[in-house]
Chain A
Amino acid sequence: MENEFDTFAVFAIVLVCVATLAVGAFGLRLSRTTSDFYVASRQVGPARNATAISGEYLSAASFLGVAGLIYERGFDSLWFPVGYTSGYVVLLVLVAAPLRRSGAYTIPDFAEMRMESTGIRRISAVLVVVIGWLYLLPQFQGAALSLQSVTGWPTWVGSAIVVFTVVLGVAAGGMRSITLVQAMQYWLKLSAIAIPAFVLFYLWTSQGSPGPREVVGGGDALREWYEPLTESAQEPYPLYSTYSTLLALCLGTMGLPHVLVRFYTNPDGRAARGTTSVVIGLIGLFYLFPPIYGVLGRVYLPVLGEHIPVDQVVLQLPKAALPGLTGDILAAVLAGGAFAAFLSTASGLVISIAGVIAQDVLRPTLARFTAGDSGIIQGFRLATIIAVVVPFLAAMVTAPLGLARTVNLAFALAASTFAPLLLLGVWWRRLTVTGAFAGLFVGGGLAIAATLFTVAVRPEPGWVATTLSQPAAWCIPAAFLATIVVSLLTPRRIPPRTARTLARLHTPEGVELGSLRQP
């Protein structure tokens, strides 16, 4: 019954891809060509910028993964949307404004500016690339599975379509993370998930709000599903997993490569705070809907079918609940929304990764080979190819682990490396270069080892599997501890201009910095 060619869904997917490319190519020219300086020099307001950040942030893991997890694991997984949102609360309170005032465009920029060390910059650049790849992997896998479920085509086709669209958009110069395009993606995704949700919710209430159905021969499955923190064969340590997830999501958001880049568009630190506040509202609004799919999935789709991953529950649900044309159309809307999620997050990530590869790896190398004759644009295009090929191949070779869970690993890695660097960098004047090195090595080393083990070896469920697939709870404290202890041991390696840098990060706008003005 599954995997027949779904014309509506394919049409929606094609429409989303073409629209994304078209808006990217022509949107700026149409909207901003003017002879009026007042219009031309209008800054991006917090609301528009926040919508763009949300549009780029809401990935396949949010669109499909969260519902899938709630469908599979029950109400424990409600912490995922909470964590995804609360990461921005931490960002807002602790780092948003200082980061903007630092003037850094990427995390390696911030590292170089704060630590005054090119070594730290290089390690940060490598970590940005690794985190980006880890985050791209589930986007490609999700696209592959989604396309497979609506067309029956082999998995590599879906990945290839996303890769092709993103590379075309990014490398051709159109889809450079333009604020307008990403803002449009947010409303597209919100509508795509909200409208079917309202229809399905109405259907469900009009049928007298039936409860989740017991699966024949499922044993305690239903009780495990609705009771919080119950142990199961899949999840033997629910309390640990929950806390570890929350910690990773809260501290990981600030370290994601495509998030900081967007903050640069804010005119100043105050606008950065305003933007973050709006982001919390917009993302919170979006996350009201995925749980509906998870729960209604339990009602209408007690058994999902042999080879269908739980991430597909969002796409399968409308057809199961509303057989016929309406269900097909709703499924098509959702498929289009899911593709919008793949495209926007993937393009944001690819731009960030390609920027870092071009700037920190390719440019010095190319300059040496071609005596400084290589074009910046060619370098960026080459970097774009490198940025997508590695996760594309990884998506082919490794079996999917579940969208939300792979994304979690990326969050855990970001939280165990950049969270100590950013938080201590912004708030602790005794941070030393050696301490920062130690934190990045310890946090990054542990988290990458755990990730590789989880993705490649995939151990049987047990305490080893749990601690390795949820590394945040021990990696993050280890990284903080390493940074602090080593910093205290090497007081002579405090960057010489620390006091001046911190004064700049924390001085509110409008305060004249007097002697600090002149370098």
Chain B
Amino acid sequence: MLTGGMHLPTGIVVLVACLLTALVLRWRRRSQERQHSFISEVDRATYETLHTVSLAAQPLREGLTEDGAARAAKHLLDMLHASAVAIQGVGSTLTWVGEGQHHAAQVGAHTVPVLEGGRTIVISSGEISCTDPDCPIRSAVVSPLVVDDHVVGALATYSPSSSPGLARATEEIAGWASSQLQLAELGKERTRAMEAELRALRAQISPHFIYNSLAAIASFVRTDPERARELLLEFADFTRYALRKGGAFTTLSEELRNVERYLVLEQARFGDRLSVSLLIAPEVLPVQVPYLAVQPLVENAVRHGLAGKTTAGTLILEARDVGAEAEIVIEDDGIGADPERVRAALDSVTESDSVGLGNVDARLRQVFGEDYGLVVETAPGAGTRVSFRIPKYAPGIHEGR
């Protein structure tokens, strides 16, 4: 029995003592770190420069924007030992950092030859006129910022007198900044590619499915016109959903409704050979899923798992509540597949054989992060089990209800 066995004031005193000790230790470690006692002067200068470089890299990764340029220029000025640093974009001066703010208006004129010629130029002392005798802005070094062989801007450094050292430094820094801008451009391209891919998948009802559905419907037109009409309406609803415009997300219950339409059409073709078992936790029905995330996986199970089978096949669709996430499982007892082939399908999104798998995987990772890809368990003859998780809340995806 612990009750009453603890003396409270003692407990509190011990706790406070522990906290104080921890604080003192931490403070001492901090102050030791600050003394740099075992780092030489040269090393220290190198580290500081490297640190400044990394600070300047972040804003440049956003591309040549006014805000990013201003933040980066501050750090560039620290590295260059010049009086002022200016960054010129195509058409406008983005920023001026340092002394002699009144010269900012002339940056455009100073950088014209560089933007046109793409070479570093030095504007020597005397060419920049100023009424203020103490103004340090007398000479300039202007270097181009190049992305993909195009001059997208210029970096200008100003000082009282131009030196070869400053010219070299400016050129190097401009080259480094160009590489950062190139990275920014790559990032943008990647986003564009992902968006294009999303658009591509949205319209991607497989041609096999259209052909097979229409053939199945046609077979009912004479024998069972009523059924043919129902199937045709299901087909119309399916295509409307798959080709719709609007948000990239939908609720799990909407997506399930579409899976149902798909399966009704497939069952018209397979008849009794395809049976479906559903186990859906009602708690996860309102979860937002990327639109067309489940249907391609079901289609994959039917086409690659069950269609090759001679006997009846079962498809199990499960949605489970796992705390702050939902887990969705699509399982078939079909012919299975070689794991290596599945891996290849997941790796290359464009592979025509299992378009759905790779594409859904890529979209899930893009939207929710690298932890949220597809998990495929399969072996030849052993069926296939595809599962993935969806967070119930992810920042920024709840825009389209």
Residues of A within 8 A of B (CB): 28-29, 32-37, 39-44, 101-106, 109, 112-113, 154-156, 173, 176-179, 264-268, 351, 354-355, 358-359, 372, 376-377, 380, 396-397, 399, 456-457, 504, 509, 513, 516-519
User: A377 — nearest CB in chain B belongs to which residue?
Assistant: B322
Q: How far is the CA of A355 from the CA of B322 in the complex (A)?
A: 9
Interface check B304, CB cutoff 8 A: no
Which of A40, A155, A355 is most buried by chain B, counting CB atoms within 10 A of its CB? A40
A492 CB → nearest B CB, Å: 16
Contact in complex: A397, B2 (CB < 8 Å): yes
Contact in complex: A106, B8 (CB < 8 Å): no
Given contacts A154-B1, A399-B3, contact A44 B282 (CB under 8 A): yes
Q: How large is the interface on B (under 10, 10 to 19, 20 to 34, 35 or more residues)?
A: 35 or more
A461 CB → nearest B CB, Å: 18
Given contacts A35-B277, A106-B324, A178-B321, contact A266 B395 (CB under 8 A): no
Interface check B363, CB cutoff 8 A: no
User: B321 — nearest CB in chain A belongs to which residue?
Assistant: A176
A-B contact pairs, 11 of them (CB 8 A): A28-B281, A34-B278, A35-B275, A35-B276, A37-B257, A103-B398, A155-B1, A178-B283, A376-B322, A399-B3, A457-B8
User: Which chain B positions have C-beta within 8 A of A101?
Assistant: 401
Contact in complex: B285, A43 (CB < 8 Å): yes
Interface check B272, CB cutoff 8 A: no
Given contacts A397-B3, A397-B6, A518-B399, contact A32 B280 (CB under 8 A): yes
Contact in complex: B324, A155 (CB < 8 Å): no
User: Which chain B positions have C-beta within 8 A of A457?
Assistant: 8
Contact in complex: A113, B323 (CB < 8 Å): no
Which of B6, B276, B283, B321 is most buried by chain A, counting CB atoms within 10 A of its CB? B283
Q: How far is the CA of A112 from the CA of B397 in the complex (A)?
A: 13
Q: How far is the CA of A104 from the CA of B280 in the complex (A)?
A: 21
Contact in complex: A519, B396 (CB < 8 Å): yes
In the complex, which of the residues B257, B275, B395 contacts A112, with contact meaning CB atoms closer than 8 Å?
B395
Contact in complex: A359, B324 (CB < 8 Å): yes
User: A516 — nearest CB in chain B belongs to which residue?
Assistant: B399
Additional A-B contacts beyond A41-B257, A41-B280 (18; CB < 8 A): A32-B280, A32-B282, A33-B277, A34-B279, A44-B283, A101-B401, A104-B393, A105-B324, A113-B398, A155-B3, A177-B283, A264-B283, A265-B283, A358-B324, A372-B371, A517-B399, A518-B246, A519-B400
Residues of B within 8 A of A (CB): 1-4, 6, 8, 12, 246-248, 251, 253, 256-257, 259-260, 263, 275-283, 285-286, 288, 321-325, 370-371, 389, 392-393, 395-401
A251 CB → nearest B CB, Å: 24
B114 CB → nearest A CB, Å: 36
User: A100 — nearest CB in chain B belongs to which residue?
Assistant: B286
Given contacts A41-B257, A399-B3, A518-B400, contact A33 B278 (CB under 8 A): yes
User: Which chain B positions have C-beta within 8 A of A102?
Assistant: 398
Contact in complex: A106, B1 (CB < 8 Å): no
Given contacts A104-B393, A105-B393, A106-B324, contact A40 B278 (CB under 8 A): yes
User: Which chain A positions have C-beta within 8 A of B288?
Assistant: 103
A395 CB → nearest B CB, Å: 10
Contact in complex: B246, A265 (CB < 8 Å): no
User: A399 — nearest CB in chain B belongs to which residue?
Assistant: B3
Contact in complex: B321, A40 (CB < 8 Å): no
Q: How far is the CA of A109 from the CA of B323 in the complex (A)?
A: 14
B235 CB → nearest A CB, Å: 17
User: Which chain B positions have C-beta within 8 A of A517?
Assistant: 246-247, 399-401
User: Which chain B positions have C-beta within 8 A of A179?
Assistant: 282-283
Given contacts A113-B395, A264-B392, A396-B2, contact A358 B283 (CB under 8 A): no
Q: Which 6 A-B pairs have the closest CB atoms?
A: A103-B398, A40-B278, A37-B260, A519-B399, A105-B392, A109-B393
Q: How far is the CA of A456 from the CA of B12 in the complex (A)?
A: 10
Q: How far is the CA of A44 from the CA of B397 in the complex (A)?
A: 23
User: Which chain B positions have C-beta within 8 A of A113?
Assistant: 393, 395, 398
Q: How far is the CA of A140 from the CA of B148 in the complex (A)?
A: 66
B98 CB → nearest A CB, Å: 26
Q: How far is the CA of A399 from the CA of B8 in the complex (A)?
A: 12
Q: How far is the CA of A106 from the CA of B394 in the complex (A)?
A: 11
A274 CB → nearest B CB, Å: 14
Q: How far is the CA of A306 from the CA of B283 in the complex (A)?
A: 47
Q: How far is the CA of A399 from the CA of B1 in the complex (A)?
A: 12
Q: How far is the CA of A176 from the CA of B322 in the complex (A)?
A: 7
Q: How far is the CA of A45 from the CA of B348 in the complex (A)?
A: 43
Q: How far is the CA of A355 from the CA of B392 in the complex (A)?
A: 12
User: Which chain A positions have C-beta within 8 A of B246?
Assistant: 517-518
Q: How far is the CA of A28 from the CA of B288 in the complex (A)?
A: 22
In the complex, which of the residues B279, B283, B397 contacts A29, with contact meaning CB atoms closer than 8 Å?
B279
Which of A35, A179, A351, A380 is most buried by chain B, counting CB atoms within 10 A of its CB? A35
A96 CB → nearest B CB, Å: 15
Given contacts A154-B1, A354-B323, A517-B247, contact A265 B286 (CB under 8 A): yes
User: Which chain A positions have C-beta within 8 A of B260?
Assistant: 37, 41
B286 CB → nearest A CB, Å: 5
User: Which chain A positions have C-beta within 8 A of B398?
Assistant: 102-103, 113, 504
User: Which chain A positions have C-beta within 8 A of B321?
Assistant: 176-178
In the complex, which of the residues B278, B286, B323 contacts A351, with contact meaning CB atoms closer than 8 Å?
B323
User: Which chain A positions have C-beta within 8 A of B286?
Assistant: 43, 264-268
User: Which chain B positions have C-beta within 8 A of A456?
Assistant: 8, 12
Q: How far is the CA of A399 from the CA of B324 in the complex (A)?
A: 34
User: A372 — nearest CB in chain B belongs to which residue?
Assistant: B371
Contact in complex: B324, A40 (CB < 8 Å): no
Given contacts A29-B279, A457-B8, contact A376 B325 (CB under 8 A): yes
User: Which chain B positions have C-beta within 8 A of A355?
Assistant: 323-324
Contact in complex: B282, A43 (CB < 8 Å): yes
B38 CB → nearest A CB, Å: 27
Given contacts A103-B288, A103-B393, A155-B3, contact A513 B401 (CB under 8 A): yes
User: Which chain B positions have C-beta within 8 A of A156?
Assistant: 1
Q: How far is the CA of A355 from the CA of B326 in the complex (A)?
A: 13
Which of B1, B8, B399 is most buried by chain A, counting CB atoms within 10 A of its CB? B399
In the complex, which of the residues A36, A109, A518 contacts B278, with contact meaning CB atoms closer than 8 Å?
A36
In the complex, which of the residues A28, A42, A104, A173 contacts B279, with contact meaning CB atoms closer than 8 Å?
A28
Contact in complex: B282, A35 (CB < 8 Å): no
B246 CB → nearest A CB, Å: 6
User: Which chain A positions have C-beta within 8 A of B285?
Assistant: 41, 43-44, 267
B107 CB → nearest A CB, Å: 30
User: B392 — nearest CB in chain A belongs to which residue?
Assistant: A105
In the complex, which of the residues A40, A359, A377, A397 contacts B256, with contact meaning CB atoms closer than 8 Å?
A40
Contact in complex: B2, A399 (CB < 8 Å): no
Contact in complex: A40, B280 (CB < 8 Å): yes
